């Protein structure tokens, strides 16, 4: 059953602010992952969608407002496991078009910001229902073909449904968290940021792309969305679903662009109020530097939210269950060819267990590869030639000393896991937690769930804003306290003066 707004939304709007609703709640739950077993309706629908994409090249324009725009700088997205298949033809927005998109967004900002939060919530709930129902197979197939994901990895991207539903829930609940009001006055807060937000999204998660653009829009902001070149097909599908769900035309501008051109243009605008980013650490540092160097230009201090990946670890104690370590490490390190933000890239194993674990890992690793469209494939090709070109001991039985390596050998702090059956060891494993924004005990370092394990890390991994949790949407609001007095002041004199 789709989520519904529960209880009567009976409060009236207070002047000058977005509509406030009292006693509003929204019941949502995580979208179940489908199994895609032989003969299942979801498998049949996905196979049909994959067949429809065979040999097809989708034309994807820049979209500014309701206008589809093509520039002369045309690009192609190739399928990672079939370079002969151009899955999408798209174009880069130039500086002039990006400035036009900014102007169109700013013109729509105030009206959008003043709309009831429940209006935005209903749009994103409808988009979630479309993603979970009639458009699920389409988005999954485009994620598989365009980003080289297997069936289960593409299905994991269905967490965009959860992002949209839980963000709507958190937004409605946030509207209910108002300052104390003492008669004869009422007080309220929350507005969107003043300006535009730039969403710069990655190739490796369709869900992250939709959330980075969608969450600020839900909270009353206008957004320029720069999708990844290598996730264009699925990103555009998500954008079209949002529009079909009722998102007005100028709230999210869909503007593929060259990275430096986009960065230079947005940081040159006095109206930049936020950057929502997932990608490489050097790129995020450069954007931060550009903002800092032009800080005097902006009308407000821009919010910068970034997630930059990690050197995620599995720390194994000699008491660990070997089967659990091997299975968890294979899934974490090799699913989607290790291209997820939280993939295990460091494995600390004691000498006493290494012969068993090494033998098992080598035996199982031989079975993982294949094309993404093959339903028997566990891990497919990396995203592009650049990533392929980047691909190239264990520790003595001194567990406590080795824990220090987890923290000291990298500046990243995203995810980590400790495998141990010894109950006296597991609490000590929390020392590892300083090197992880998301920490797992007897479980792999991947697989965070929206609403259950909000995701993000600090240090070089990013700003740790925890998308998937209630804290995240606060980043895209600018509290404006509004007091409305319902009893006129009749006399300027105080009582002691009478």
Residues 322 and 436 in one domain: yes
Q: CA triplet 456, 460, 466: central angle to 5 degrees? A: 15
In the predicted structure, residue 242 carries a pLDDT above the cut 90: yes
Judge whether 406 lies within some domain: yes
Q: Is the pLDDT of residue 287 over 80?
A: yes
CATH code at position 67: 3.40.605.10
User: Kindly report the CA angle at 372 between 366 and 373, in degrees rounded to 5?
Assistant: 125
Catalytic residues: 307
Q: Are residues 286 and 409 in the same domain?
A: no
Say if 391 falls within a structural domain.
Answer: yes
Question: Which pLDDT band holds residue 389 (cuts at 50, 70, 90)?
Answer: low
Residues 131 and 275 in one domain: yes
Q: What average pLDDT does the segment 282-297 reach? A: 97
**Percentage of the chain lying above the pLDDT 70 cut:** 89
Q: What confidence tens digit (pLDDT) does each residue in 405-436 have? A: 888 888 999 999 989 988 777 655 555 567 79
Distance, C-alpha 404 to centroid of its chain:
30
Q: Is the pLDDT of residue 490 over 50?
A: yes
Please identify which residue in the block is written with the tokens 């498998």.
43
* Portion of the chain with pLDDT greater than 90, in percent: 70
User: pLDDT tens-digit profile of 108-165?
Assistant: 999 999 999 999 999 999 999 999 999 999 999 999 999 999 999 999 999 999 999 9
Give yes or no for residue 74 having a pLDDT over 60: yes
Q: Residue 361 is part of which domain span? A: 312-459
Domain assignment of residue 112, yes or no:
yes
Separation between Cα atoms, residue 340 and residue 444, nearest integer Å: 13
pLDDT value for 385: 72
Instruction: Say yes or no: 256 and 340 in one domain.
Output: no
What's the DSSP call for residue 440? E
Residue 377 domain flag: yes
- Residues 339, 372, single domain; the answer is yes
442's tokens: 């007897």
**Confidence at residue 382, expressed as pLDDT on a 0 to 100 scale:** 67
Residues 375 and 436 occupy one common structural domain: yes
pLDDT for 432 equals 55
**What CATH number should be reported for the domain holding residue 326?**
3.40.309.10
Q: Which two tokens stand for residue 8?
A: 């009567």
Distance between CA 121 and CA 425 in Å, rounded? 45
What is the pLDDT, as a whole number, of residue 482? 87
The answer to whether residues 14 and 186 touch, using CB atoms and an 8 Å cutoff, is yes
Between 266 and 389, whose confidence is greater?
266
Please tell me the least confidently modeled range out of 41-50, 72-81, 253-262, 382-391.
382-391
303 beta partners = 274
pLDDT of 86-102, one tens digit each?
A: 999 999 999 999 999 99
At 310-355, the pLDDT tens digits run 999 999 999 999 999 999 999 998 888 889 899 998 999 999 999 9
Same domain, 325 and 436: yes
> pLDDT averaged over the chain?
89
Domain identity same for 364 and 385 = yes
Q: Specify the pLDDT at position 11.
A: 31
Residue 120 lies in a domain: yes
Which of 297-306, 377-386, 475-484 has the highest average model confidence (pLDDT)? 297-306
Q: Domain check: are 59 and 107 in the same one?
A: yes
* 327 shares a domain with 283: no
In this structure, the answer to whether residues 301 and 409 fall within a common structural domain is: no
For residue 390, pLDDT over 90 is answered with no
Residues 249 and 392 in one domain: no
Relative to beta strand 272-278, strand 252-254 is unpaired
Least confident window among 158-162, 240-244, 246-250, 341-345: 341-345
Would you say residue 5 lies in a domain? no
Contact partners, residue 395, CB within 8 Å, separation at least 6? 348, 349, 350, 351, 402, 405
The domain total for the chain is 2
Q: Kindly tell me if the per-residue pLDDT of 277 is higher than 50.
A: yes
Q: Within its chain, how far is the Cα of 444 from the centroid?
A: 20
Instruction: Please check the confidence at residue 12 and state whether its pLDDT lies above 50.
Output: no
- Mean pLDDT, rounded, for 16-26: 47
In a domain, 267, yes or no: yes
Tell me if 5 sits within 8 A of 121, measured CB to CB: yes
User: Has residue 146 been placed in a domain?
Assistant: yes
């Amino acid at each position: 059953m789709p989520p519904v707004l529960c209880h009567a939304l009976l409060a009236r709007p207070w002047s000058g602010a977005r509509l406030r609703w009292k006693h509003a709640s929204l019941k949502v739950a995580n979208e179940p992952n489908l199994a895609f077993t032989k003969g299942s309706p979801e498998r049949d629908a996905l196979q049909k969608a994959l067949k429809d994409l065979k040999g097809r090249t989708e034309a994807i324009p820049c979209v500014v407002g309701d206008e589809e725009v093509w520039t002369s700088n045309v690009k192609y997205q190739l399928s990672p496991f079939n370079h002969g298949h151009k899955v999408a033809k798209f174009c880069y927005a130039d500086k002039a078009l990006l400035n036009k998109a900014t102007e169109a967004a700013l013109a729509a900002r105030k009206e959008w910001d003043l709309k009831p939060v429940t209006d935005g919530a209903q749009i994103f709930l409808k988009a979630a229902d479309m993603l979970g129902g009639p458009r699920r197979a389409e988005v999954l197939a485009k994620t598989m073909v365009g980003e080289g994901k297997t069936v289960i990895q593409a299905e994991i991207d269905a967490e965009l449904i959860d992002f949209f539903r839980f963000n709507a829930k958190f937004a409605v609940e946030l509207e209910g968290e108002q300052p104390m009001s003492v008669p004869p006055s009422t007080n309220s807060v929350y507005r969107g940021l003043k300006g535009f937000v730039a969403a710069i999204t990655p190739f490796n998660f369709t869900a992250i792309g939709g959330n980075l653009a969608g969450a600020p829009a839900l909270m009353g902001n206008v957004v320029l969305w720069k999708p990844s070149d290598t996730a264009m097909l699925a990103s555009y599908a998500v954008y079209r679903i949002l529009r079909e769900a009722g998102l007005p035309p100028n709230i999210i501008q869909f503007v593929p662009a060259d990275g430096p051109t986009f960065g230079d243009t947005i940081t040159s605008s006095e109206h930049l109020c936020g950057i929502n980013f997932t990608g490489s650490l050097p790129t995020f540092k450069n954007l931060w530097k550009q903002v800092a160097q032009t800080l005097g230009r902006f009308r407000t201090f821009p919010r910068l939210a970034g997630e930059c990946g990690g050197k995620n670890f599995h720390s194994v104690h000699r008491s660990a269950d070997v089967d659990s370590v091997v299975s968890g490490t294979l899934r974490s390190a090799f699913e989607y060819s290790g291209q997820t933000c939280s993939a295990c890239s460091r494995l600390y194993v004691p000498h006493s267990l290494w012969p068993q674990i090494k033998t098992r890992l080598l035996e199982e690793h031989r079975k993982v590869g294949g094309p993404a469209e093959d339903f028997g494939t566990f891990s497919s090709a990396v995203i592009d030639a650049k990533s392929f070109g980047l691909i190239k001991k264990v520790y003595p039985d001194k567990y406590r000393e080795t824990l220090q390596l987890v923290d000291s050998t990298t500046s990243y702090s995203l995810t980590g896991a400790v495998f141990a059956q010894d109950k006296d060891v597991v609490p000590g494993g929390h020392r590892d937690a300083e090197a992880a924004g998301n920490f797992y005990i007897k479980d792999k370092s991947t697989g965070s769930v929206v609403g259950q394990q909000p995701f993000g890390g600090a240090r070089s991994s990013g700003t740790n804003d925890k998308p998937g949790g209630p804290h995240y949407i606060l980043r895209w609001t600018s509290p404006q306290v509004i007091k409305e007095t319902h009893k006129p002041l009749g006399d300027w004199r105080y009582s002691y003066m009478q």
